[in-house]
Amino acid sequence: MSRTTDVIIPLLNSIKGRYLDIHDVLAIMIYIREKGPIGRYSICKALGIGEGIIRGIISRMRSMNLLNVLRAGVVLSDKGSEVLNNFLNDLGVIKIESLKLTSFTGGLVNLSVQLRPPVFRSMSCIEERDLAVRFGARGAVIIHYIRGRLCIPSVYDDLSKEYPKISRYLFTKFDLSEGDHIVIVFNSSKWYLLRPLMLLTLKLKGYF
């Protein structure tokens, strides 16, 4: 576990009425970072988390000095930004990026994360795809960068042979190092994808 769980775990334990997992907290913090100042209702609607849960976590995050409350809504404090950045760094998250891949995935909206190794995945990645679907994505694609090429485990050994334009596009979006993974989740709503994307990130980094 990362050192930032010293902040995250007490935050989780303080929320009453529903078990809130680390991927929920990460999604909430990322959304506030990107959209703040933002109101509670907008957070609920964007992420698909109940208003009572959001109210509780915002109250607790404020008491832990992770948020500042403004007239226009909430924003991450300097401490909140530091906690989030440290946790993402500990997870090996290089970037979170929206991609134009509708012709490839069939999803209107595609949200991705680039992960540095080590990454712990099932051989075919079916388990990870099913997990993403269970938490709100329409589907997921996991791409591995190995020996100078992009591959989709158990599907394509070299993506450039089947989808040269897609392969070139991905190389323009990511500065890849050996062993990196690109995790893509898709449906019709960008922010609704944050929870399944963070869930897969935690799964692939061995948190559960």
Query: What is the domain partition of the chain in residue ranges?
Result: 5-88, 92-204
CA torsion 160→162→164→168, rounded to 10°?
-50
The tokens describing 87, both together, are 């946790």
Cβ–Cβ < 8 Å for 167, 160: yes
User: Where do we find the tokens 């509670």?
Assistant: 40
Average pLDDT of the chain?
Answer: 90
Q: How far apart are CA 123 and CA 125, in angstroms?
A: 6
Q: Looking at this protein, which amino acid is placed at residue 51?
A: E
Number of Cα atoms under 13 Å in the Cβ half of residue 80 = 27
DSSP-derived 3-state class of residue 183: strand
DSSP-derived 3-state class of residue 99: strand
C-alpha angle 44/46/52, rounded to 5°?
A: 5
Q: How far apart are CA 80 and CA 57, in angstroms?
A: 13
The tokens describing 157, both together, are 């050994």
Q: What is the CATH number of domain 5-88?
A: 1.10.10.10
* pLDDT < 50 stretches in the chain: 1-2, 15-19
Q: What is the CATH number of domain 92-204?
A: 3.30.1360.30
Q: Give pLDDT, residue 5.
A: 57
The tokens describing 48, both together, are 């698909």
Q: Give pLDDT, residue 64.
A: 86
Q: Give pLDDT, residue 208.
A: 76
pTM of the model: 0.91
Q: Give pLDDT, residue 124.
A: 92
Q: How far apart are CA 160 and CA 152, in angstroms?
A: 11
